[in-house]
Amino acid sequence: MDDIPANPDAVIAAERALANAFSPHAPINQARFFHGRRELVREVVDTVNTAGLHAVIYGERGVGKTSLANMIGEYLGGDTSVSRVICSQGDAFETVIRRALSAIKLAMQVPKLGFAAGTSSREFSLWDALPDPAELAADEAASLVAGLPFHLVIILDEFDRLPKSETVAFADFIKALSDRTANTTVVLVGVAEDINSLLASHASVERCLRQIHLPRMSEVELGEIIDNGLAEAGFTMESPKPRGRILAVSQGFPHYTHLLAQYAGRSALDKNRRVIDEMDVVTGMVRAVDRADQSTRDLYHRAVTGSRKDHLWREVVTACALAASDERGYFSSRDIQDALAELLNRPANQQAFTYHLAKLISPDHGPLLERIGAARRFRYRFVNPLMRPFILMKAINDGLLPSD
């Protein structure tokens, strides 16, 4: 019953079901595919529904910020319009607001042309309604939207990519909206450790801005992604082990959970099965590493290629990925030492990798890591935390780390 008949239609259908159930490369935009994070969804929706309050959703790269912001539209009623803008480096306040307002279409009754009697309906965008769109100040933009007869939510995603100097105008805009108790809510979304690095002059808006930090996903939450996705696609796991492997490697990043569950499903499918076993997860990891984007593979290569040939580079890098870390992702050289000893199956001393650490924070080795603190009490973390799962998969594929 678990076998799929080797008929091409059934295989294509199963392949399609896996592709629909898992989305490693796209944010979630339907509530039924969004898992975990229940309290956070409530917090965001409550904030958006509270007059005068705006939100900033921030966290590490890839933890699910855009997906959470997408739930706003799902949970709010029909009389709310959501306008979502993806900011970029070349943007300014004016260009961002232009895109946000251009997406909002309004219908207006205008007299019919010529001698015809009556009116006809004409559609125009909120942007067209601005008197002089070329020079838009924060206050003007706020007074325009303050008069809207419906609730408007403006989501500004990738806000961290804007030049810092531009963010001052957004703080002014939010402040002006709050002062007018406008029926418009601004939601800023971006990669940041704290709001200081996201919004200049945020002190002036602190009282009207709810800060929502998105941590990595817990194993329980990631488990929901696997269980629901597999059920949706009509697949199961042979034992809890393959599931545990995917969770361990994901390290809190849902992208890898989607990716590995999907690839493991495909591996089972290649053997005409709908039951995933441990080997399918291992096969999935090989595929995931092979298909990882070029920049990830290049960074790994730079990190482990040292002047001292074969001198524990891969081992030290793997130990960093295994090291116990705090909630901000930092670990100490003691944590690395413990992980390295376990990896090598023998005691490791810190001198053995001091040289590597000094190099791993320099551009010729990535930089793979960044460092804070004073000498002897340095703490390290990955510049791109999504490297951690990649390094673990690579180590498993290369036989450096057992797959369990």
Ligand X SMILES: Nc1ncnc2c1ncn2[C@@H]1O[C@H](COP(=O)(O)OP(=O)(O)OP(=O)(O)O)[C@@H](O)[C@H]1O
Residue 173: closest CA among 54, 82, 330: 54
Q: Which of the 8 DSSP states describes residue 112?
A: P
Q: Please, which residue, 66 or 178, has the CB nearer to Mg ion? A: 66
- From Mg ion, ligand X, none, which one binds at residue 62 (CB under 5 to 8 Å depending on kind)? ligand X
Considering only residues 241 to 270 of the shown chain, the ones binding ligand X according to CB under 6 A are 254-255, 258
CB of 210 to ligand X, least distance (A): 18
Q: Please, which residue, 242 or 389, has the CB nearer to Mg ion? A: 389
Give the binding range for Mg ion (CB under 5 A) out of 61-69, 101-109, 114-122, 377-385. 61-69
- From Mg ion, ligand X, none, which one binds at residue 98 (CB under 5 to 8 Å depending on kind)? none
Considering only residues 191 to 230 of the shown chain, the ones binding ligand X according to CB under 6 A are 191, 225
Give the binding range for Mg ion (CB under 5 A) out of 12-20, 65-73, 99-107, 259-267. 65-73
Q: Judge contact between 80 and 153, C-beta under 8 A.
A: yes
Q: Does 318 bind ligand X (CB under 6 A)?
A: no
Q: Please, which residue, 27 or 133, has the CB nearer to ligand X? A: 27
- From Mg ion, ligand X, none, which one binds at residue 23 (CB under 5 to 8 Å depending on kind)? ligand X
Contacts of 13-20 spanning 24+ positions with Cβ under 8 A:
14/233, 14/234, 14/235, 14/269, 14/274, 15/266, 15/269, 17/232, 17/233, 17/234, 18/233, 18/235, 18/262, 18/265, 18/266, 18/269, 19/262, 20/232, 20/233
Q: Judge contact between 394 and 287, C-beta under 8 A.
A: no
The residue within the footprint of ligand X, chosen from 4, 15, 36, 332 (CB under 6 A), is 36
Give the binding range for ligand X (CB under 6 A) out of 57-65, 97-105, 192-200, 279-287. 57-65
CB of 64 to ligand X, least distance (A): 3
Give the binding range for ligand X (CB under 6 A) out of 56-64, 243-251, 331-339, 356-364. 56-64
Q: CA 54, 58, 62 angle in degrees (round to 5)?
A: 140
Considering only residues 97 to 126 of the shown chain, the ones binding ligand X according to CB under 6 A are none
Q: Judge contact between 151 and 183, C-beta under 8 A.
A: yes
- From Mg ion, ligand X, none, which one binds at residue 225 (CB under 5 to 8 Å depending on kind)? ligand X
Distance CA 380, CA 371 (A): 5
Q: Please, which residue, 254 or 389, has the CB nearer to ligand X? A: 254
Q: Does 66 bind Mg ion (CB under 5 A)?
A: yes
Q: Judge contact between 207 and 171, C-beta under 8 A.
A: no
The residue within the footprint of ligand X, chosen from 17, 18, 34, 246 (CB under 6 A), is 34
Evaluated on CA atoms 197, 256, 397, 400, the torsion sign reads positive
First to last CA, the chain: 29
CB of 12 to ligand X, least distance (A): 23
How many chain residues touch Mg ion (CB under 5 A)? Answer: 1
68: alpha, beta or left? (left if phi > 0; alpha if psi -120 to 50): alpha
Distance CA 265, CA 280 (A): 7
Point out which residues bind ligand X (CB under 6 A). Answer: 23-24, 26-28, 34-37, 61-67, 191, 225, 254-255, 258
Contact residues toward Mg ion (CB under 5 A) are: 66
